[in-house]
């Protein structure tokens, strides 16, 4: 079992030097656990993109096809206003290659339910 913090998750969405190694590691195990902080990491990736592009809130709103107040919520880290899905859509609109993969397990072990 592998536990991923949010920095590892970001490497799956944004090409960085370590991205291939992280992807290889995660593909090598049947069970991968991910932190609940994925939305926070996706917001951090978004902030990084805005900084690198030097977009104003107005420009970001135009480029992303959302209202300026929506961009203001992003910039203000109002994570409660964004689902993981909406952040992925916005990152894709910003030109970030967002990849989500699902693949069958290599073993026949069943998943144990906890509740």
Which pLDDT score, from 0 to 100, does residue 27 have? 79
**Which of helix, strand or coil describes residue 34?**
strand
A 10 A CB-CB count for 26 gives 17
Which pLDDT score, from 0 to 100, does residue 79 have? 84
This prediction's pTM: 0.57
26 neighbors 32 (Cβ within 8 angstroms): yes
Query: Is the pLDDT at 20 greater than 70, yes or no?
Result: yes
- DSSP letters of 38-94? HHHHHHHHHHHHHHHHT--HHHHHHHHTS-HHHHHHHHTT-GGG--HHHHHHHHHHT
Domains annotated on the chain, with CATH: 2-93 (1.10.260.40)
């Amino acid at each position: 079992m592998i536990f991923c913090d949010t920095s590892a998750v970001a490497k799956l969405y944004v090409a960085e030097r370590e991205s291939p190694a992280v992807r290889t590691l995660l593909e090598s195990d049947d069970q991968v656990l991910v932190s609940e902080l994925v939305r926070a990491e996706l917001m951090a990736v978004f902030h990084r993109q805005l900084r690198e592009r030097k977009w104003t809130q107005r420009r970001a709103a135009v480029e992303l096809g959302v209202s300026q107040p929506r961009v203001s919520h992003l910039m203000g880290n109002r994570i409660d206003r964004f689902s993981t899905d909406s952040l992925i859509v916005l990152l894709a609109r910003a030109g970030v290659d967002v990849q989500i993969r699902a693949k069958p397990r290599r073993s026949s072990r069943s998943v144990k339910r906890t509740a």
